[in-house]
Chain A
Amino acid sequence: MSLLKGIAEAFSLILTLDPYLTQIVLLSLQVSGLAVFFAALAGVPLGTYLGLKPQERTRFAGKLLYTLMGMPPVVAGLLFYLLFSRMGPFGVLGLLYTPTAMILAQFVLAVPIIAALTMIGIRSRGKDVQETARTLGAGRLLTAWTVVRESRFAISGAIVTGLGRVIAEVGAVMIVGGNIEGHTRVMTTAIVLETGKGNFELAVGLGLVLLIISFVINSLLYSFQGGGKEIA
């Protein structure tokens, strides 16, 4: 199996919407999409709160967030494995080897990224906006909302970065998902399996889809960094 032949067959798998491949791609998008959706609900308010506080008073929280940003996915996987295994504290829920467990693990990976990047974004512009809003007589919530609106490109960038990170990780979903065909098999775990089995065309096909998704995600990120000029 040459690489070129693999790529050619991979393209035909993608173009014919091979059912096995399609199903894996959709599950990946679902798991990582939901994880990032919930992570944004938690991370954006947290990052905004920290970003509006004086930097000296959030030093420890900031360091903690930065540390958690670098948490290796396998460690998150191990943590949730121990929590959700039948012998673990949440074993009765029967969540191990389900998509729910995968979403939770990826949620934990994405929250610090989204919160930290939001915090940085808010810090860079938020102070001026906050003062202007206060001067115009806005209450605390309205002020916060105005700050978020004005920092929307930075925040969107934070969310997209989180998505890029979790959709590409393999360690956590492998451990808590178990790579069950049709149930918890996502792109990254499928690539590991199919490479081991010698099904290179499928592995390459999934790799290509992952790269395409990564390209889309990073194109968005690129435009957000330019203040959205490329999109509108």
Chain B
Amino acid sequence: MRVFFKLLCLTLAIILIGGCSNAPVDKGEVDKVDEFIILATTTSTYDSGLLDVLLPVFSQKYGTKVRVISQGTGQALETGKRGDADLLLVHDRASELQLVEEGHFTDRQDVMFNDFIVVGPSADPAGLKGIEKVTDAFTAIAFGGHTFVSRGDDSGTNRKELSLWEKAGIGDFKDWYLSVGQGMGDTLRMAGEKQAYTLTDRATYLSLKNSLDLEIVLEGDSLLFNQYGIMAVNPANHSHVKYESAVKFIDFLMSSEGQELIAFFQIGGEGLFFPGKGVDD
């Protein structure tokens, strides 16, 4: 028994020492380089793997690590407003511009774009494959009572989806409509399991396609355009934010190097994001 207690103490000691050695060490650097910045971003950029390509290049160049919190756009905007992140990479252009106007965020740039697509079971019971307009497709889903899985998490994709229902003139959601409150990856997985339709960004769908039993049933409508924006939390509201490092990151993404990394990011031979701005003001 005594031996056991000694072992227990030893284990605890190792854990404690390990905990201390992990603590951030102030190396007293001469030039002011922040150890890390916090980026709140959408599940769609995170799950696609794009950041795994971008962040190491940035960290190597500037010596600043980027800690990523993956949230829906609505939650990320809230996190930024509260000052719990230094910058945001999100996709709800109208809200972003409004929040910049209101002074919550600054230095916003249209960093990249892609598009939303409607995916569903290959049997396509609602017959969406022949339809061109997404509003018509949504009407067909609603009137046929075909199962539709919604993010239901106030994310950029969820906001887009709700705006499309509104444009289609449908406000009566019955039991065919499942609001699941999950990220894009989980939502796609649920749609696959339930053989239901859902709205997704192209990037997440392509990166998960192989493990999903879902097909693209509608794409190309101009309403399905998906612009991503990057912006810093306004230091005037939150004096603690690492504004300079955040701007460095924005400049890096907007530089030709950053934009090329975005353009060349592919999965299975298909580009997932297009650099820059793809929308008219």
Contacts and interface: CB of A to CB of B under 8 A. Distances in A.
A94 B240 contact: yes
A80 to B, nearest CB: 13
Contacts of A29: 15
B50 interface: no
Contacts of A97: 38, 67, 69, 84
Contacts, number: 70
Nearest to A223: B4
A226 to B, nearest CB: 12
Contacts of B2: 232
Nearest to B185: A196
A183 interface: yes
Contacts of A1: 211
A139 interface: no
Interface string B1-16: 1101000000110011
Nearest to A232: B1
A30 B240 contact: no
B1 A231 contact: yes
Interface stretch (A65-73, A117-125, A173-181): A173-181
Contacts of A30: 15, 18-19, 22
Interface residues of A, number: 30
A181 B46 CA distance: 11
Given A29-B15, A197-B47, A198-B208, A179 B82 contact: no
B70 interface: yes
B183 interface: yes
Interface in B1-48: 1-2, 4, 11-12, 15-16, 18-19, 22, 36, 38, 43, 47
A22 interface: no
A118 B238 CA distance: 45
Nearest to A184: B67
Nearest to A103: B19
A97 B66 CA distance: 13
A198 B185 contact: yes
A180 B240 CA distance: 20
A86 interface: yes
A33 B12 contact: yes
A37 interface: yes
A87 interface: yes
B211 A198 contact: yes
Interface string A72-101: 000000000000011100011010110100
24 contacts: A1-B211, A29-B15, A30-B18, A30-B22, A33-B12, A33-B19, A34-B15, A37-B12, A85-B84, A86-B240, A87-B83, A96-B84, A97-B69, A178-B67, A178-B69, A180-B68, A193-B70, A195-B186, A196-B183, A197-B185, A198-B189, A231-B4, A232-B1, A232-B4
Given A97-B38, A99-B22, 16 more contacts: A26-B18, A33-B11, A37-B15, A37-B16, A91-B83, A97-B69, A178-B69, A196-B43, A196-B185, A197-B208, A198-B185, A198-B212, A200-B211, A228-B1, A232-B1, A232-B4
Pick the 10 closest A-B CB pairs, nearest first: A86-B83, A232-B1, A196-B185, A33-B15, A198-B211, A178-B69, A196-B186, A180-B67, A87-B82, A231-B4
Interface of A: 1, 26, 29-30, 33-34, 37, 85-87, 91-92, 94, 96-97, 99, 178-181, 183, 193, 195-198, 200, 228, 231-232
